[in-house]
Amino acid sequence: MKSMFPKTIKSKFIFISITFIIFAVGLPMHFLVKQFRENFHQRSQLMLEATLDMLDNGMDNVMMLGKQKNVQIIVERIAENNNVNHIRIYNKDGKIKYSSEISEIGKNIFKVAPKHVPLDFAARTKRSVRILEDFHAYAAFEPIINKPECQSCHKQEGPLAFLDVDTHLTKAEISFYTGTLHLIFLGVAVIIVLTLGLLFLFNVYVNKPIQTFIGALDSAKEGNLTTRLKVERDDEFGKLNLHFNNMVSEIESSREKINELHNEQLRHVDKLATVGELTAQMAHEINNYTGIILTRSDYLLLESENNGELLKFSEEIKVIQKEIEKISNITKNVLRHSKKRKMNFINVNLKEVIDQSIKIFEPVFRKNGIEIIKEYINDEIYVYGDASLLEQVFANLFGNAIDAIKTEGTIKISITAENEIIIVSVSDNGQGIDDATRPDIFSPFYTTKEQDKGTGLGLYIVKNICDQHNISIECESQLQKGTTFIVKLNGKRKQHV
């Protein structure tokens, strides 16, 4: 489920700002309107209750004096107050007995003021005050109770009559009630103005610098390292732009150095390729001469069987033949590895591949006094891959081991199996690799060897071949103790009976 919360900084800022402004402006305005309404209501209620109390006291006095005709005078006098709109006294049938408007006397209250009087007025026994917003007035209702002192003259049960008083709203109250909508519009306007103001400030001081910075990053990502940002501000964005410029400058300088090193290594590789071609030609020529020598030595051995003079040299001829065969094997290996060919994935015998790689370096092993130790499982092991490329993997590992040992050392090759996983370990007791260097050994053109001795491509090529064969390769090493390369392959085992 996708989140409904905005993702970009700008949309988050707008959402949070509007929410904050609504709460910051809307809530205080709501409580302010509510407080004004309560204050106006309390004022009008107090005024109405004071008017009702005056009417009650006045009517009690005139009734006790038996001057009922003065009730109309009291009603008219109290109605002279500017805030009093109407005063009416009516019986339980709704007939108006006294009114501040003479024309209303004798009429039914429901026809004169249908919304002023509650429909169940005859059953009510308590005073009530309510607002009539349509008439911009407050209306008060009160039953005139038949008090004990009045019961000598009035024998009826229940209220003697009912009193209806309504007062005009003051100008402030009218403005308040009619202006509530204006307050809402004002609040919305304040929210819009504040939001637009904050959005403008955000765009100028935050969003624009961010977009400029993102554009510079995209430009640098595409390779344009000449991109620079203006450092015109002393705030965080100014520091960020300064750091970006420094970073791009460092990357540009590093790239120039890498390109220079790369070109130098390419020139060196080109030289090695030329040397390789010359070596292949020399191996071919040497192979021709060794073929002639082997042919002649075979002829001499054949002749020695019938010639006593040659017979005494037969053993020497055999030694010569053996050494010439070794030279021939070396030249054949050189020629085989010098040819460019397409990859040919087949099931190959892993032990034979490793042994073939060892044969390439046999003269070097003997010359440098390096002992080869093999620890192979007895099973025949087959892996799916290109035999020549796999030989190149192990040949590179053996070559690195020779460079690490230099003279008088040991190279141990072990083959073990865990289910269908074949593990080949190539260990040497050479100088080792430190922890800082080890993560970079598979990078192209990275080497710790002496200049003009290493290209930095050997282990890079090994890693690429392993990736092509879906093989994992790891390196474990300690300084002055040696290095172990661990190659893990998927293969099949054929056990010897």
| Chosen domain end from 340, 362, 382 | 340
Q: Show the domain range for 274.
A: 225-340
Clarify whether residues 173 and 66 are in a common domain: yes
Are 439 and 334 contained in the same domain? no
Question: Which pLDDT does position 66 carry in this prediction?
Answer: 66
Within a domain: residue 210? no
In sequence order, which residues have a C-beta less than 8 Å from that of residue 5 and are 6 or more positions away?
12, 15
Q: Is residue 67 part of a domain?
A: yes
Mean pLDDT of the 305-323 span: 77
Whether the CB-CB separation of 407 and 466 falls below 8 Å is answered with no
Inside any domain, residue 212: no
Residue 425 β-bridge partners: 414, 486
Q: Could you report the per-residue pLDDT of 463-482, keeping only the tens digit for each?
A: 888 998 889 999 999 888 89
Annotate the chain with three-state secondary structure. Answer: CCCCCCCCHHHHHHHHHHHHHHHHHHHHHHHHHHHHHHHHHHHHHHHHHHHHHHHHHHHHHHHHCCCCCHHHHHHHHHHCCCCEEEEEEECCCCEEEEECCHHHCCCEHHHHCCCCCCCCHHHCCCCEEEEEHHHCEEEEEEEECCCHHHCCCCCCCCCCEEEEEEEECCHHHHHHHHHHHHHHHHHHHHHHHHHHHHHHHHHHHHHHHHHHHHHHHHHHHCCCCCCCCCCCCCCHHHHHHHHHHHHHHHHHHHHHHHHHHHHHHHHHHHHHHHHHHHHHHHHHHHHHHHHHHHHHHHHHHHHHCCCHHHHCCHHHHHHHHHHHHHHHHHHHHHHHHHCCCCCCCEEEEHHHHHHHHHHHCHHHHHHHCEEEEEEECCCEEEEEECHHHHHHHHHHHHHHHHHHHCCCEEEEEEEEEECCEEEEEEEECCCCCCCCCHHHCCCCCCCCCCCCCCCCCHHHHHHHHHHHCCCEEEEEEECCCEEEEEEEEEEEEECCC
Shared domain check, 17 and 155: yes
Task: Kindly state whether residues 121 and 156 are assigned to the same domain.
Answer: yes
CATH number, domain of 435, equals: 3.30.565.10
Do residue 385 and residue 474 come from a single domain?
A: yes
- pTM for this predicted structure: 0.43
- Of 366 and 122, the structure prediction assigns the larger pLDDT to 366
Question: Residue 335 and residue 280: Cα distance in Å, rounded?
Answer: 6
Which residue among 290, 313, 340 closes a domain? Answer: 340
| Nearest Cα to Cα of residue 336 among 388, 399, 290, 387 | 388
Same domain, 114 and 167: yes
Domain C-terminal end among 121, 148, 177 = 177
What's the structural domain count of the chain? 3
Residue 88: pLDDT band by 50, 70, 90 thresholds?
confident
Same domain, 401 and 329: no
pLDDT of residue 1: 44
Residue 472 CA to residue 452 CA, distance in Å, equals 30
Residue 198 lies in a domain: no
Residue 83 sits in a domain whose CATH number is 3.30.450.20
Residue 474: the pLDDT is 92
Is the pLDDT at 410 greater than 90, yes or no? Answer: yes
Same structural domain, 386 and 364: yes
Is position 417 within any domain?
Answer: yes
Report if residue 4 sits inside a domain.
no
67 pLDDT more than 80: no
| The token pair that represents 474 in the structure block | 């790891």
- pLDDT tens for 91-127 read 888 888 888 888 888 888 888 877 767 777 777 777 7
Contacts with 495 (C-beta within 8 Å, 6 or more apart), sequence order:
378, 379, 380
What residues have CB less than 8 Å from 147, skipping those under 6 apart? Answer: 60
Over the stretch 221-238, which tens digit does the pLDDT of each residue have? 887 878 888 887 777 778
Residue 249 lies in a domain: yes
Q: Are residues 236 and 355 in the same domain?
A: no
Position 410 in a domain: yes
Are residue 439 and residue 374 in the same domain, yes or no?
Answer: yes
Based on the fold, state whether residues 356 and 279 are members of the same structural domain. Answer: no
Question: If you average pLDDT over residues 309-319, what whole number do you get?
Answer: 76
Give the pLDDT confidence of 175-188 residue by residue, as tens digits: 665 666 666 777 77
Same domain, 336 and 347: no
Structure token pair of residue 314: 């037969």
